[in-house]
A and B are shown apart, each in its own frame.
Chain A
Amino acid sequence: MSAPLLEVRGLQTHYFSFGGSRIVKAVENVSFVLRKGETLGLVGESGCGKTTTCLSIVGLLPPAARVVGGEIRLNGADLTKKSPREMRRIRGRAIAMILQDPMASLNPLFSIYTQVAEPAYYHLGMRRRPLRQRVQELLRAVRIPSPAMRMRGYPHQMSGGMRQRIVGAIALAGGPKLIIADEPTTNLDVTIQAQYLDLLMDLQQETGVALIFVTHNLGIVAKMCDRMAVMYAGRIVESGAVRDLFSAPKHPYTKALLGSVAKLGSKEPLYAIPGQPPDLARPPTGCAFHPRCADAMPRCATQDPEDVQCGPEWTARCWLPQRAGRGGS
């Protein structure tokens, strides 16, 4: 097995407010590994900490948030120990990020050329002709028609789908090893979304870049990802191969999420998870999911479960498989 490209171990990111008197544990003890060319789906509802996890990796946390524990190793080097200056050299070169809203991540005052050229200019030291050629190549790679003309245009002249593809070109410009895509298709129409996802898969095959896909859409995970990690209330509750988790989910939350999605052409009633996600400033005692869990036991309310191995590279943070495992062995 090849050495992991990215290794996140025991990551803790907390938000501090009111002079540290109020602490929100947005990310608690999150661990995962990502190998070269692999796609990881980070799944969860809004406020579960998936975006904070990604911002911790790229070192772009808002001022109120701090990584208080754990390590993030990219090719063995711990990113949490890097200075802002060193991080600037990593962002855009080794790690790139695609955000949800392409209009907000493009600068309306700069031409497409300037924005796509920037990572190659700073990180790869390219200038003049080779740079222009590189930009055209990148735009062609993300299927922008007539790139030589389009690169002189501005973001407002492009449609939503084109803008998101240009953001993709910027992400690729520095030749990254890892791209973090944070809900890149939520603002796109269904057919445009399908085109964009197909494009990302093609680009991944051509360049061998690893992808972290942050999403709440399980369909995207089923289509795109090799492995997935399900987050709830700041923790990873289950992680493993996408196929395993979709076929036989071990954690009740994963099970419930899968049951709550409408399947095409099926009229089976949906499983509605009762209640709503907890407020992270006041998390429930014991297992954070127990107030909404269909299989909750008395101990779930008081004791927080540990990760249980359900197979190679398959863990679930729940008392249930633990009990089943003990009964079986």
Chain B
Amino acid sequence: MTAPMLEVDNVRKYFPVGTGAFWQRKTAWVKAVEGINFTIAAAETLGLIGESGCGKTTTAKLILLQERPTAGTIRFDGEDVGALKGPALMRYRRSVQVVFQDPFGSLSPRMRVANIIAEPLEIHTKLSRSAMRERVSEVLELVGMRPDVADLFPHEFSGGQRQRIAIARALATNTRLIVLDEPVSALDVSIRAQIITQLEQLQQRLGVSYLFIGHDLATVAHISHRIAVMYLGQIVESADSTELCASPLHPYTQALLIAALPAHPDAKRERLALSGEIPSALAPPSGCRFHTRCPRAMPRCTDEVPVSRQVAPGHAVACHLY
């Protein structure tokens, strides 16, 4: 296996929140991300899956340096990104880009497509106007759009086309890692397949890596090489995507698989044994954070925090059952 390009090492992120009335203000901590580890190699896709509030987006923000970790380090090419300054920091920002869920919010309505895509180039490169123009046409063609759309405004495009423009912008600076935060959730079914296929083709052609964040297991499993399952700020299981779908070990992963909708009416149906809802990250349950909803909880789950263990090559699970 090649050396990882991105390495997330025991990263924590706590957010302060004020509680109590204003004269007896206390600070509580939302433990959004609680000690996560993963790596992404070149030309690899890591799927990050979990329900709302599990810390997926905080993880994305930490990698994009929009938030600084409370503890732990993120390394890119072996360098701690928290310590980067000046040109080295710019080089990192150039290599890591992002595509957001809502293409209606992420593209400025007052800028032409050419300016939207050229903005990262203006910041990061010293290209001449004509060279920049050429690069814009190049990335537009990469995402399957005609170069002459460069002079139009975002409102002239449909959701799928806008998402292509957002991907083109993310690719403009010869990016090596793109963080995709639910890139297809806001799109229509037929358009989703277009974008997923496009992303897969781009990876084959350019060798770009993806961190694909989503909540639909079938879609995430389709595009990802490996998957990490998050629950309340922790990664409970990570494995190769085909293996995770074939033999999920953690009860939460198993529940996600049962909750995934069938592809055919004749598919085997199981009832979800999971009860209740996700506890608040402000007061996470003791021991294993999943024990309040777990159908296979044991007495020790309430007080002992399970440690992530390798059960097979590349397959790690944090559960007392294994």
Question: A residues within 8 Å of B by Cβ?
Answer: 45-46, 159, 161-162, 189-195, 198, 216-220, 222-223, 242-243, 246-247, 256-257, 259-267, 269-274, 276-277
| Bound complex: CA A259 to CA B264 (Å) | 12
Smallest CB separation, A67 vs chain B (Å) = 26
* A262-B266 CB under 8 A given contacts A216-B188, A273-B193: no
Min CB distance A158 to B, Å, is 10
The complex places the Cα of A266 from the Cα of B218 at a distance, in Å, of: 8
Interface of chain B residues 141 through 198 with chain A (CB within 8 A): 158, 160-161, 188-194, 196-198
Task: Return the contact of A191 from the options B188, B261, B274 (Cβ within 8 A).
Answer: B274
The A-contacting residues of B in range 217-234, CB under 8 angstroms, are 217-219, 221-222
Q: Is the CB of B259 within 8 A of A269?
A: no
Q: Write out the residue numbers on chain A whose beta carbons fall within 8 Å of the beta carbon of B51.
A: 189-192
> Is the beta-carbon distance between B242 and A198 smaller than 8 angstroms?
no
Verify if B281 is at the interface (C-beta below 8 Å from A).
no
List of A residues within 8 angstroms of B215 by Cβ:
189-190
Contact A266 B188 (CB under 8 A): no
> Interface segment, B9-17, B27-35, B250-258?
B250-258
Q: Does B265 contact A (CB under 8 A)?
A: yes
Closest B residue by C-beta to A260: B193
Shortest beta-carbon distance, B315 to chain A, in Å? 15
State in angstroms the CA–CA spacing of A190 and B253 once bound together.
Answer: 12
- List residues of chain B with CB within 8 A of the CB of A274: 194
Q: In this complex, what residue of B is CB-closest to A264?
A: B218
Max chain B Cβ within 10 angstroms of own Cβ: one of A222, A243, A265: A265
What are 30 residue pairs bridging A and B, where the CB atoms are less than 8 Å apart in the complex?
A161-B277, A190-B259, A191-B256, A191-B272, A192-B277, A194-B258, A195-B272, A216-B188, A218-B261, A219-B218, A222-B261, A222-B263, A222-B264, A222-B267, A223-B269, A247-B264, A261-B218, A262-B193, A262-B216, A264-B217, A265-B246, A269-B197, A269-B200, A270-B193, A270-B222, A271-B193, A276-B161, A276-B190, A276-B191, A277-B188
CB within 8 A of A264: which of B188, B194, B197, B260? B260
**Which residues from A are CB-within-8-Å of B217?**
190, 264
Of all chain B residues, the one with the shortest Cβ separation from A268 is B222
Contacts of A218 in B (CB 8 A): 189, 261
Look across to chain A and name the residue whose beta carbon is closest to the beta carbon of B220: A262
Are the CB atoms of A263 and B218 closer together than 8 Å? yes
Check if B52 sits within 8 Å of A242, measured CB to CB. no
Return chain A residues, CB-CB under 8 Å to B278.
189
Nearest chain A CB to B268's CB is how many angstroms away?
A: 12
Instruction: Judge whether A243 and B257 touch: CB under 8 Å.
Output: no
In the complex, what distance in Å separates the CA atom of A276 from the CA atom of B275? 40
